[in-house]
Structure 1
């Protein structure tokens, strides 16, 4: 579809350039406060969602549900608590965000959640005010940073001090249970916990399973974020003309996401023409040429921190795609549409691997890493592999209502000029599935 100016969602249309000049209201009826502490959607986003008939999430209820799911996982696994350093796990546990990407490689924040639901946040120094509006956080401290950049040659001492605080919390909130889950931590921090007699297990497993089922509010948040992503995609497609550079086109997705209160984009995978084959080339200075294919993967973290992971491939210019471009595109489209039909409660992750439509031999050597994966605040568990990449016993769990998966494919012949990447985001319902993605596929490439 060349030059899309609107997209369809819930059988309604909205012009992505629409702006509302009047003050909009928050979901609770209060005015949007430009001075509010928490990050979040803008009045532009609220106006667009209202026009689409979308419901904003109840954030208090969403946060409580997430905490309850963590506590349930801890008790199910007989763990006294979980210690979190991964910024996405911290966001899930308490909905607090602070310099998210910087903290990813400078782990100065941590959260402890006890099996009794007691939550402590260690934030970056003098940042206590950033989480003052979150009542589920019972204490805010500092001092979790024990990496060399901040701790220097005293990292072992700082780690020991931090570990002692965790030990105290475990004694108060877990009693005799000395089992604590940890997702990601500096090695000397883990050694300090063990030196105090704490038994460490996988916090990532706890959190991935807690995050697996999305609540109604999380689904509402995801619908809103996807709408924002698709509005941004429409702006990209409007600009997808011969002569524009890949980086210039990619910047539009960033701009429109940020303007609506979205947060960041995890990758920059966008390529054109011969750069579409093989896959995974990031946006560069190449300028689009008439007759190219343009392919991208959004990997977008939108409003409410929800991931919108969709891929599209577009034909560039006013001409007609080649027969080969159409053939590869149709093969890719049929692949994800066929595999999507397998999604329903009760089907196991491993069964999906073996039931899925196989790729044609000519595409197999350059197959994508997964044929589907979970999604929430980011790409999440599970990974549904092709049979050639299957890991026996890694994912023997069934699909359940409330799970969200991205179904995707890359088709590119080895040595060929063009490749096609397609991906949709799908909700598992009580009986089947609902495709949350509404952005159309390129009509010219489909031959329509």
Structure 2
């Protein structure tokens, strides 16, 4: 392996009050732009974006136990898990905290319709009081019983995830400080992984260094377990195991890390274990992925459309294309975010309209692995789009000596 990235200085520290208020202002702007009186958010990353309040993030990903009502104008009401009102104390973006009304089956069993009606009545009262006559609200996640209950009270439901996605796509100045802190967190963990990588360590043991480092430095969780070695690197999307890493193996990983202030660092690297020289095929794989990522980063300039980027994007050599990942790049903030830009061969089925703007943050990625081949290489870089073009946020070096 080549030398490690330099140790970071002190982590950037955002002003959390400004961070919360900047994000809330962007969200309200999108509520108005989508002709809604309010947005109701259940996704914990959306709740955090709107309020700055974090509570049982992973638990609430699969248990809809908390939500927030954000009107276009008026008080923000956070409905939190019972007994958690104190978590919002002093939060500038929260005006009122109430206990959440839970109506999912795990909690209420066969009383879902009854409890959903109770929940909907409270939401409808807020719409009446603070919707300025607009009874159309955007909701990001909603089971059928909730939709029926709102419709019965003459509340029209729109797509809240679209509203949140458009708010989150441009990062505010304080968000960028938080993202830089998360990337620094992540790269400290990557250095610890690099130091621990020796033949004889298991994939799981190596992966644990990133988890420990992230938590130790104020990070939160990791969304996937994408670290593999040797023949498990190809095809991609296998998760880490107790396989013992052998001398000369490629070790490939994708951090998918939720770090400081709840922001994500999504960086991929591929290393060769041990002190021996990389094999010829390993070098070809690495060079293909390296060329694709570094070339495609240069396409991210304000005004470039997603289709232009997809069509102009560097393609892998033909022998690697059957297994390349569909994504050329994706947005990132509190997690992987809108938009997703697909590679050229997937455009007809998966392409979306849009254009790059200054203030967007993207992860640009590649996987190179031949169908039936022994190994593969995964690389990914995180970038900020500035008025003059892309700025590289992920600084841990790529292994240019492997090419």
Quickly name the TM-score band, shorter chain normalised. over 0.9
Contact 2:21 2:92 (C-alpha < 8 Å) held by counterparts: no
Report whether the alignment pairs 1:227 with 2:184.
yes
Contact 2:116 2:145 (C-alpha < 8 Å) held by counterparts: yes
User: Structure 1 pair 117/211, CA: closer, same or farther in 2 (3 Å)?
Assistant: farther
- 1:216 is matched with which residue? 173
- 2:260 is matched with which residue? 303
- 1:333 is matched with which residue? 290
- 1:92 is matched with which residue? 49
Distance in 2 (CA, whole Å) between partners of 1:357 and 1:394 is: 16
Q: Return the offset for 1:175.
A: 2.5
The alignment covers a number of residue pairs equal to 403
2:197 to 216, 223, 240: 240
- 2:21 is matched with which residue? 64
Decide which moves more: 260-269 or 122-131.
Answer: 122-131
Report whether the alignment pairs 1:413 with 2:360.
no
SS at match of 2:327: coil
Contact 1:83 1:183 (C-alpha < 8 Å) held by counterparts: yes
- 1:22 is matched with which residue? none
1:319 to 268, 276, 282: 276
Distance in 2 (CA, whole Å) between partners of 1:155 and 1:165 is: 16
Contact 2:67 2:100 (C-alpha < 8 Å) held by counterparts: no
1:179 to 136, 151, 157: 136
SS at match of 1:371: strand
- 2:40 is matched with which residue? 83
Q: Return the offset for 1:172.
A: 1.0
Contact 2:52 2:93 (C-alpha < 8 Å) held by counterparts: no
Q: What TM-score, normalized to structure 1?
A: 0.88
- 2:104 is matched with which residue? 147
Matches within 5 A, 1:360-379: 360-379=317-336
User: Structure 1 pair 293/221, CA: closer, same or farther in 2 (3 Å)?
Assistant: same
Contact 1:111 1:122 (C-alpha < 8 Å) held by counterparts: yes
Q: Provide Cα deviations, 1:207-258, integer angstroms capped at 9, x if missing partner.
A: 0000000011111111111011101100001111100000000000000000
Q: Return the offset for 1:186.
A: 2.1
Contact 2:17 2:92 (C-alpha < 8 Å) held by counterparts: no
Decide which moves more: 345-354 or 262-271.
Answer: 345-354
Q: Return the offset for 1:129.
A: 0.9
Q: What TM-score, normalized to structure 2?
A: 0.97
Q: Structure 1 unaligned runs (5+)?
A: 9-13, 15-47
Q: Return the offset for 1:195.
A: 1.1
Distance in 2 (CA, whole Å) between partners of 1:185 and 1:306 is: 25
- 1:355 is matched with which residue? 312
User: Structure 1 pair 175/383, CA: closer, same or farther in 2 (3 Å)?
Assistant: same
1:434 to 391, 395, 398: 391
- 1:101 is matched with which residue? 58
Report whether the alignment pairs 1:284 with 2:241.
yes
SS at match of 1:433: strand
Decide which moves more: 165-174 or 310-319.
Answer: 165-174
User: Structure 1 pair 380/391, CA: closer, same or farther in 2 (3 Å)?
Assistant: farther
Q: Provide Cα deviations, 1:341-374, integer angstroms capped at 9, x if missing partner.
A: 1110000112211111122211111011201000
SS at match of 2:281: helix
SS at match of 1:275: helix
Q: Return the offset for 1:49.
A: 4.1
SS at match of 1:390: helix
- 1:251 is matched with which residue? 208
Q: Return the offset for 1:441.
A: 1.2
SS at match of 1:7: coil
Contact 1:262 1:301 (C-alpha < 8 Å) held by counterparts: yes
> How much is the aligned-residue C-alpha RMSD, in angstroms?
1.3
Q: Structure 2 unaligned runs (5+)?
A: none
- 2:354 is matched with which residue? 397
Distance in 1 (CA, whole Å) between partners of 2:330 and 2:179 is: 16
2:31 to 70, 74, 82: 74
Distance in 2 (CA, whole Å) between partners of 1:55 and 1:320 is: 38
Distance in 1 (CA, whole Å) between partners of 2:248 and 2:351 is: 43
Q: Return the offset for 1:55.
A: 3.1
- 1:168 is matched with which residue? 125
Distance in 2 (CA, whole Å) between partners of 1:391 and 1:141 is: 46
1:205 to 162, 165, 169: 162
Distance in 2 (CA, whole Å) between partners of 1:208 and 1:117 is: 21
**Runs of 4+ with deviation above 6 angstroms:** none
Q: Return the offset for 1:387.
A: 2.1
Q: Provide Cα deviations, 1:171-213, integer angstroms capped at 9, x if missing partner.
A: 1111321111010122211111111111111100000000000
Q: Provide Cα deviations, 1:24-79, integer angstroms capped at 9, x if missing partner.
A: xxxxxxxxxxxxxxxxxxxxxxxx642xxx53111111110100001100111110
2:219 to 262, 277, 301: 262
